[in-house]
Chains A and B, each alone.
Chain A
Amino acid sequence: MPAQPEGGPAPRTGALPEEAAARAGAETFSAYVHVPYCRVRCGYCDFNTYTAEELGPGANREDYREQLGREIALSRRVLADTALASRPFDTVFFGGGTPTLLPAETLAGVLEDLRAGFGLAADAEVTTEANPDSVDAAYFRTLRSAGFTRVSLGMQSAVPHVLDVLDRTHDPARIGGVVAAAKEAGLQVSLDLIYGTPGESLADWRTSLEAVLAHRPDHVSAYSLIVEPGTRMGAQVRRGELPMPAEDDLADKYELADALLGEAGLQWYEVSNFATAPGSRCRHNLAYWRGADWWGYGPGAHSHIGGVRWWNAKHPRAWAGRLEQEASPAVGREVLDADTRALEEIMLALRVDGEYPLARLADSARPVIARLLAEGLLGAETVRTGRIHLTLRGRLLADGIVRELADHLR
């Protein structure tokens, strides 16, 4: 799993510097809740997650709500001390790990604690990631009545041999029933896909996309597989047991996804995310791309408030131990200076369709913009709206465009 980034030390109290208060609050306010449990560890996964055996004593699922409660209390204290007006959450997102390994009542309880601490906006978006294996109609009903609005199902692929390589244990045939149950319960449904798994053909990927479309989701996330060093899959690729996904193959698959999803009415709004309508976009993810404020609860979670980023101790026991001592579980943080904030802004916002304003760029960027338009990497709307719209080719080369434009920040 990835190491936490290097940063400065975080104060034991969790107190935020004054400048954070000055800059916070311009955008929405969100909560991310990290649930670090999985039944099995997938070979490609480098997220902060633990199976029951890996956890060891001192950190268990039964106490998890109580431990989160301590961090919620801490967040209330810290934000009050920073003289930030208390705001209700606009979005809440439960991610993992596998949040749905916890009983629906526990997730509902944690949401209740968040609501009690800060309140939820009337139109709040509340999402949980879910493993198709571990949910059913009753589970969804409980979530919905607790205030959840959305479920993001980790489908990954509809092709058995691809799921095998990913170590996913669910039966693809179950997805239809699970989606129907979620919709029945009144939840919006997002299906998450991974493309570029070693051994996945273009035809396999088409099968997965068609299966997804047959379930008529409101939203699709399509992430290309990244083989991370330190994962089991990383080791298999290094030893030559699995082929490394080829970049051109990934480009072909992204183009196919864009075409099939687009035909079915799912439009891209962020490089890897597609939605049927503006109202079904994932507002929580958009909050990340827009540099909004959020508090990340749970082991290893990252937070951002007003240009200050911090991250919690990764191991559940270390995280819980700090909270028990009434200390902040944060182990490192960064206070971003103006240049770094500007760099992060373009890095994040450029990926969102029509988000990044050309006004943020210096005059020296003009010939670069003109060239990118001429080469067909930026769409013509860019000029009309004054905000960057990437073309299909531009999306595939977005990081390179960021590197070029980052030399011309105002």
Chain B
Amino acid sequence: MSPQVSAEALKRIDVAGTDPALIRNFCIIAHIDHGKSTLADRMLQITGAVKPRDMRAQYLDRMDIERERGITIKSQAVRMPWEVDGTPHALNMIDTPGHVDFTYEVSRSLAACEGTLLLVDAAQGIEAQTLANLYLALENDLTIIPVLNKIDLPAAQPEKYAEELANLIGAEPEDVLRVSGKTGEGVEAVLDRIVTEINPPVGDPDAPSRAMIFDSVYDTYRGVVTYVRVVDGMLRSRERIEMLSTGTTHDLLEIGVSSPEPVPSKGLGVGEVGYLITGVKDVRQSKVGDTVTSARRPAEEPVAGYSEPKPMVFSGLFPIDGSDYPALRDALDKLKLNDAALVYEPETSVALGFGFRCGFLGLLHLEITRDRLEREFDLSLISTAPSVVYRVVMEDGSEHIVTNPSEYPEGKVAHVYEPMVRATVLTPSDYVGAVMELCQSKRGQMQGMDYLSEDRVELRYRLPLAEIVFDFFDQLKSRTKGYASLDYAEDGEDASALVKVDILLQGDQVDAFSAVVHKDKAYSYGVSMAGKLKELIPRQQFEVPVQAAVGSRIIARETIRAIRKDVLSKCYGGDISRKRKLLEKQKEGKKRMKMVGSVEVPQEAFIAALSSDDGKAEKK
């Protein structure tokens, strides 16, 4: 495809000198499998930003995990030329992350735009996360362009979902664009609408420069690449810049735009979206939401909306092979370079040895991190059951922040506070009862309910985060045959009747299995964990009681009976080598056993007990 914009016209949208009136900044809000990446691919082709020979599927998704799971974890911005009525325009597409754990990053991406495409699968309709992000966009006064994708699918119901979208944003069904990212049908009309409907950016070109960071990515060769949206003034190549939140200054080694490969420029002016390279090695020095200004003439006021990333879910990560501990530390140090939200500190478990207590934005963040550690760094890990942050106030008034159940304080507890979330569930109306029942059983308080269309309902609940982290999502999917979708955002803390349940093997506490649960659920947790361990721990030469306890009170008990036979009688006609190799293998296996008191517990038992179906994150 030849570029739509002529070489002559391209000069008018040269990076360092484009009139803000010719710039359009937009993003795409979509659910993870509604075809955002495919639509982005078509736009890159149709605008000529990517030559046909360079094209590959899901061009903008960089990590293998992103391509494999079809989700975008980190965003990126792309500049594309597009001409309407003979006037060339520069369209900056900011690719937003599509998952609930990254709400803050989404909000910064939205803040960098004046408009958004609301992209919805014409066969599935809108999902909860999309809705949540749509509300965010509306709060940011973004222009919303509704688009139905995948109209080529036989199961597409464009009439139905156009009406749903129109209702949501207060438009007419005819205003909803219909495209196929796969065939390219309707994509040019989308590009035209971006130019005609979305406002150009407005800023003061003469004010001290201010740019908002909406993403920063660590690159092995170039260090941290920071993506910014310029609000006022101009950032110039080679000048010294300052990060307003910390006051640190850096030399600007390179500045430019992605189109989509990096193109250095002399500077970035008002409304432009592009990247900076300063040579820093850690994304923590270039935080999402922070304001970049010129060190020579710094701005007084930061761009609004900055906040520090806050871990919500904690889990212990332990190497299965204890000698991998240094490798795990190095791997976390490397991941941290590219993940400002990842926090960790060394942790020692009696049962699991040396590892790290890690904090994550949410379950997906946890799962992606563990996945990357195992895949990119070739580590085998055990992760303990995810936990939230509890605030425990003792009767003497002292206060403990507990991110690890095994550190739950002993003694007289006055109050325990747990983090709460505002959850939105979208479900076909047939399953409203099932969803309400689930939310009730998870200690949810209903906040409201709306019909989006005749057969689709939005339910709003306030729920403890701990319940969501446990197995809420899996249960939601199984009770609604996979049709319901979930989004949640943090919503303060509540005092709750929580207790810590310990698991004892032959009277010795196994720290990795301790959990903080609601007092009404302590018994069922204890029974299920004791039962699971009874199945998972091999019989020993002596009888082993498995108990669950709240404080000193035993609430459940199972017994692993003593083994009676542990001998092979055959000798395979003199094949001693085979028998010895079996023994050597068993001896190796014994080395990987963890001793809890005098009980040998295989690694596999820990893994199986901790990675039950409970508490699994969304797998897509």
Binding site for B on A (CB under 8 A): 2, 4-7, 32, 34, 47-48, 95, 222-224, 226, 247-248, 250-251, 254, 271-272, 285, 288, 294, 296, 300-304, 309, 311, 334, 340, 343-344, 347-348, 351, 375, 377, 393, 395-400, 402-403, 406-407
CB distance from B506 to the nearest CB of A (A): 15
**Residues in chain A near residue B568, CB distance under 8 A:** 226, 399
Contacts of B579 in A (CB 8 A): 347
Min CB gap A273→B, angstroms: 9
CB of A343 within 8 A of CB of B583, answer yes
Contacts of A397 in B (CB 8 A): 541, 563-567
Partner of A301, one of B566, B573, B577, B590: B573
Give the shortest distance, in Å, between B371 (CB) and chain A (any CB).
32
Roughly how many angstroms separate A251 CA and B563 CA in the complex, as a whole number? 10
Contacts of B590 in A (CB 8 A): 403
Is B441 interfacial (CB-CB < 8 Å)?
no
Which residues from B are CB-within-8-Å of A5?
A: 575, 577-578, 581
Interface size on B, residues (CB 8 A): 26
A344 touching B566, Cβ below 8 Å:
no
Q: In the complex, A393 Cα to B587 Cα: how many Å?
A: 21
Most interface-central of B565, B566, B568, B580 (chain A CB within 10 A) = B565
Q: Nearest residue in A to B540 (C-beta to C-beta)?
A: A400
Chain A nearest Cβ from B20, distance in angstroms: 71
Decide yes or no whether B304 CB sits under 8 A from chain A. no
Residues of B contacting A47 with CB < 8 Å? 572-573
In contact, A309 and B564 (Cβ under 8 angstroms): no
Question: For residue A46, which residue of chain B has the nearest CB?
Answer: B572
CA distance A402 to B587 in the complex (A): 10
* CB contact between B565 and one of A48, A254, A294, A344 (< 8 Å): that residue: A254
> Beyond A224-B569, A226-B568, A226-B570, is A347–B577 a contact (Cβ under 8 Å)?
no
CA distance A95 to B542 in the complex (A): 39
Chain A interface SS verdict (over half): mixed
- B576 contacts A272, C-beta separation under 8 Å: no
- Nearest A residue (CB) for B584: A343
Cα distance A402–B583 when bound, in Å?
Answer: 9
Q: Closest CB of chain A to B584's CB: distance in Å?
A: 7
- Least CB distance from A354 to B in Å reads 17
Task: Tell me if B574 and A375 are in contact (CB < 8 A).
Answer: no
Complex CA distance for A378 and B564, rounded to whole angstroms? 15
A395 to B564, CA, bound (A): 10
Cβ contact within 8 Å between B574 and A294: yes
> Would you call B4 an interface residue if the criterion is a C-beta within 8 Å of the partner chain's C-beta atoms?
no
Q: Which A residues lie within 8 Å of B574 (CB)?
A: 32, 288, 294, 296, 301-304
Interface residues of B (CB under 8 A from A): 541-542, 563-581, 583-584, 586-587, 590
Beta-carbon nearest neighbor of B590 in chain A? A403
> For A301, what are the chain B residues with a Cβ–Cβ distance below 8 Å?
573-574
Q: Which residues of the other chain, B, contact A402 by a CB distance below 8 angstroms?
A: 583
What are 21 sample pairs from A and B whose C-beta atoms fall under 8 A apart?
A2-B572, A2-B575, A2-B578, A7-B577, A32-B574, A47-B572, A48-B573, A222-B569, A247-B563, A288-B576, A301-B574, A344-B580, A347-B579, A348-B576, A375-B541, A396-B565, A399-B567, A400-B541, A403-B590, A406-B583, A406-B587
Tell whether, in the assembled complex, residue A223 and residue B567 are in contact, meaning their CB atoms are under 8 Å apart. Answer: no
Complex Cα distance, B581 from A347, in Å, reads 11
Is the Cβ of B577 less than 8 Å from the Cβ of A334? yes
A223 / chain B contacts, CB cutoff of 8 Å: 569-570
Question: How long is the Cα–Cα vector from A301 to B572 in the complex, in angstroms?
Answer: 10
In the complex, which residue of chain A has the Cβ closest to the Cβ of B598? A371
Residue of B nearest to A407 (CB): B587
Which of B541, B565, B571, B581 is close to A288, meaning CB atoms less than 8 Å apart?
A: B571
**Which A residues are in CB contact (< 8 Å) with B578?**
2, 5
Most buried by B among A7, A34, A224: A224
Contact B586 A34 (CB under 8 A): no
Given contacts A347-B580, A406-B583, whether A95 and B567 have CB atoms under 8 Å apart is no
Contact A403 B586 (CB under 8 A): yes
Question: Which residue of chain A has the shortest Cβ distance to B581 in the bound complex?
Answer: A5
Cα distance, A254 to B570, chains bound together (Å)? 14
Q: How far is the CA of A406 from the CA of B576 in the complex (A)?
A: 16
- Given the interface pairs A344-B580, A396-B564, the reply to whether A271 lies near B573 with Cβ below 8 Å is no
Cβ–Cβ contact A32 & B573, under 8 A: yes
Known pairs A226-B570, A347-B583, A399-B583; list 11 more (Cβ under 8 Å). A4-B575, A247-B563, A302-B573, A302-B576, A304-B574, A311-B575, A348-B576, A398-B566, A402-B583, A406-B583, A407-B587
Cβ-closest chain B residue relative to A372: B541
Name the CB-closest residue of B to A400: B566
Contacts of B575 in A (CB 8 A): 2, 4-5, 302, 311
| Complex Cα spacing A45 to B5, Å | 78
C-alpha gap A343/B583 in the complex (Å): 9
A334 / chain B contacts, CB cutoff of 8 Å: 577
